[in-house]
Chains A and B, each alone.
Chain A
Amino acid sequence: METTKTLVYDGSFNGFLTAVFIAYEQKLSYADIQRQGQNQGGLFAETEIIFTNVEKAQRVWNGIRKKSNAAIKNIYFTFLSENRNIEALLYHYIRKLMGSKINSATNFSDDCILKINQIAHKVGREKHRMEAFIRFQLTKDGVYFANIEPDFDVLPLISKHFRNRYADQQWIIYDVKRKYGLFYDLKSVEVISLDLTEIHTNSLEKSTAFTDEEYEYQNLWTNYFKSTNIKSRINTKLHTQHVPKRYWKYLSEKKEAV
């Protein structure tokens, strides 16, 4: 019987890739890779702490990329899903990929490959939703500020989009669930953590953090949103399918509906 071993890494993507490297080195066909703090190895399982090693991570990354660009994207997106035990599934996926002579990343008749594709697809959808549903509010310091609570850890995926689009304004996007954010200072994007005294949802009450004009524009936008509606076509089911309710509290046009 092969021993099962638990590899515990620091939660970063490079940490995970390092764990993959080590599992390969030890020729594990099944690797129980767990995030620090979440690991609950069985009583008798052997545990090894993985120290993130960028070089090793890079080698894994390059190896996979040589096989398939689509696969590397799928792996990164799926990793950000933070699903329980996603690491084991990813390891299985990587072994499949590397073990096959042809590019099997598109073998949709394989359950594991299809599953990874589906999870990556969901994370991709969340990325798009954030690009759509983020609502900036202008602070008195002249920074456009937004709080988010995405289903998956998509901040790393949306950074480039906002950097390219809003190149001439300072902005902060802060994930209140994961307690970190991105700050663009007109030059580059930095990862920040803040002591937020207040989470800025689309509350009807005004916060002193924002300019007066900010509320005028929110008001205009809400008004605009209302007038786009054609009463004789109303279709609430379709509406909530496109804009699921859990996102409403951050949408200024949904103030009254929340």
Chain B
Amino acid sequence: MDFNRIKEKLNILADAAKYDVSCSSSGSNRTNKNNGLGNTGNGICHSYTEDGRCVSLLKILLTNHCIFDCAYCVTRKSNDIQRAAFKIQEVVDLTINFYRRNYIEGLFLSSGIFKSADHTMERLIAVAKKLREEENFNGYIHLKSIPGASDELMYEAGLYADRLSVNIEIPTISGLKLLAPDKNHADFIKPMLKVKNEIIRYKEEKKIIKHTAKYAPAGQSTQMIVGATGESDKDIMYSATHFYKNYNMKRVYYSGYVPISMDSRLPSLGTEVPMLRENRLYQTDWLLRFYGFSVNEILDADNPNLDMDIDPKLMWALRNLNFFPVDINKADKHMLARIPGVGMGSVNKILNGRKFRKLDWDHLKKMGVALNRAKFFIICNSTDWERRDLDAARIRSMILQNSKSKFKNQYTNQLSLFN
């Protein structure tokens, strides 16, 4: 193996892949077959990038040659950058050797589109197939579904991959028309639909026959770029909800747009990456998936954007003070989960702990409840609670006074961007 040449390629093709933020390696349950190599489980972050993101997969492009010219993408045809392409065996060797040293959970393979969608998809599948069949590799494989790839290929991809994903990238159809005029919205949807249907079919078959092979056991995911086209948080979250519901998405990722080109259709170079906004969107996503909220409770026509100062649960609570105060010792799980400053871990501790005695402030604090926020919304086994009839604006400002946002510096810059 010519290590210098590989290093050059790796630098180019890892660099081009890093803007894809999904790096999850969880949700699959592949066991190690016949004393081979690897398994999958809850997903381990083997390292963290200097910007604090999890590194769990070798995330690379097979090639960054591309026939398309999407404005938001570094790999676009018109961009004047170095191009490279891996051979199939090279990707296999890298994956296996990194895996054996406990650097990674597996491979995340994407690609620029060369020649045609099908041709590209075929090559991605060839890598996965080789890993599974020749190397007896049972680690995690995430393949990108190439927009426009045929149903047959999408079927085959799912036989080797743990997860498949198509990045929607632009949350609105009008935005997509503007930034990727030669791409067709329907091309994104087609592989998604095929994968969804196959996943359902395999699940059904599994109920009848015991040993069905696996089909994309970790499901599919997608990613949306945030802050490239002036879309609202409502646009993004409604679109995310649509994908969760209609395509059985396991995860939707939100990626703050990193300015990479001088293009009048996009935020200019040097514009701050909207990291705080990205964070608020993830918080909202969690509320929808784990806390029992529905999207229109948080965002609607009157409130199309999230509050950057406070988290979305607090934002919701302040708009719905009529539900509060909640009695910690009596409320059901559903309502406990809606109290600002109370995470799901604390909810379970409260439910367990209160079987033994009535809980007071001290108990709650030790259980990890963020009292600086929660105290305005609860009563517990204490005569000491917030009796004043405070209005939402007052509570909001009292909470803000007592908390230092880790994004404070950034926040001031961003305000000007979004006004």
Is B44 interfacial (CB 8 A cutoff)?
yes
| Chain A residues closer than 8 Å to B52, beta-carbon distance | 235, 237-239, 241-242
Q: Map CB proximity to A onto B38-60 as digits: 1 under 8 Å, 0 otherwise.
A: 11000011111111111100110
Given A109-B354, A167-B36, answer yes or no on A223-B49 (Cβ-Cβ < 8 Å).
no
The residue that A217 contacts in the complex, of B38, B98, B357, with Cβ under 8 A, is B98
Interface residues of B (CB under 8 A from A): 1, 3, 6-7, 10-11, 14-15, 18-19, 31-32, 35-39, 44-55, 58-59, 94, 97-98, 100-103, 136, 256, 258-259, 272-273, 275, 349, 352-357, 359, 363, 366-367
| Cβ–Cβ contact A167 & B32, under 8 A | yes
Given A109-B359, A220-B7, answer yes or no on A168-B103 (Cβ-Cβ < 8 Å).
no
A-B contact pairs, 25 of them (CB 8 A): A107-B353, A108-B349, A109-B363, A132-B44, A133-B46, A135-B102, A138-B101, A144-B100, A166-B38, A167-B36, A168-B36, A220-B10, A220-B94, A221-B101, A224-B10, A224-B14, A225-B49, A227-B15, A228-B14, A228-B18, A233-B256, A235-B52, A242-B45, A243-B47, A243-B48
CB distance from B47 to the nearest CB of A (A): 6
Question: Which of A107, A128, A227 has the largest number of chain B CB atoms within 10 A?
Answer: A227
Q: Chain B residue with minimal CB distance to A114?
A: B366
Q: Which of A215-236 contact B (CB under 8 A)?
A: 216-217, 219-221, 223-225, 227-230, 232-236
Given A136-B100, A144-B100, A241-B52, answer yes or no on A233-B258 (Cβ-Cβ < 8 Å).
yes
| Chain A residues closer than 8 Å to B258, beta-carbon distance | 230, 232-233
| Cβ–Cβ contact A242 & B35, under 8 A | no
CB distance from B133 to the nearest CB of A (A): 15
Is A134 interfacial (CB 8 A cutoff)?
yes
CB distance from B400 to the nearest CB of A (A): 22
Is A84 interfacial (CB 8 A cutoff)?
no
Assembly CA distance A73 to B366 (angstroms): 21
CB distance from B327 to the nearest CB of A (A): 16
CB distance from A166 to the nearest CB of B (A): 7
| Chain B residues closer than 8 Å to A137, beta-carbon distance | 101
| Chain B residues closer than 8 Å to A107, beta-carbon distance | 352-353, 355-356
| Cβ–Cβ contact A220 & B3, under 8 A | yes
| Chain A residues closer than 8 Å to B7, beta-carbon distance | 219-220, 223
Given A220-B3, A223-B10, A223-B11, answer yes or no on A144-B101 (Cβ-Cβ < 8 Å).
yes
Q: Which of A76-103 contact B (CB under 8 A)?
A: none
Assembly CA distance A219 to B3 (angstroms): 9
Q: Chain B residue with minimal CB distance to A218?
A: B101
Q: Chain A residue with minimal CB distance to B350?
A: A108
Assembly CA distance A253 to B14 (angstroms): 15
The residue that B44 contacts in the complex, of A131, A136, A233, A253, with Cβ under 8 A, is A131
Assembly CA distance A217 to B32 (angstroms): 24
Given A165-B32, A167-B37, A243-B48, 10 additional A-B pairs, CB 8 A: A220-B7, A224-B10, A224-B98, A228-B18, A229-B49, A230-B273, A232-B259, A234-B50, A242-B45, A252-B101
| Cβ–Cβ contact B50 & A239, under 8 A | yes
Assembly CA distance A198 to B44 (angstroms): 29
Is A104 interfacial (CB 8 A cutoff)?
yes
| Cβ–Cβ contact B44 & A230, under 8 A | no
Assembly CA distance A131 to B47 (angstroms): 11
Question: Which of B45, B49, B354 has the largest number of chain A CB atoms within 10 A?
Answer: B49
Q: Which of A101-150 contact B (CB under 8 A)?
A: 104, 106-111, 114, 128, 131-138, 144, 146
Q: Chain B residue with minimal CB distance to A111?
A: B366
CB distance from A119 to the nearest CB of B (A): 14
Q: Chain B residue with minimal CB distance to A212?
A: B3
| Chain A residues closer than 8 Å to B15, beta-carbon distance | 227
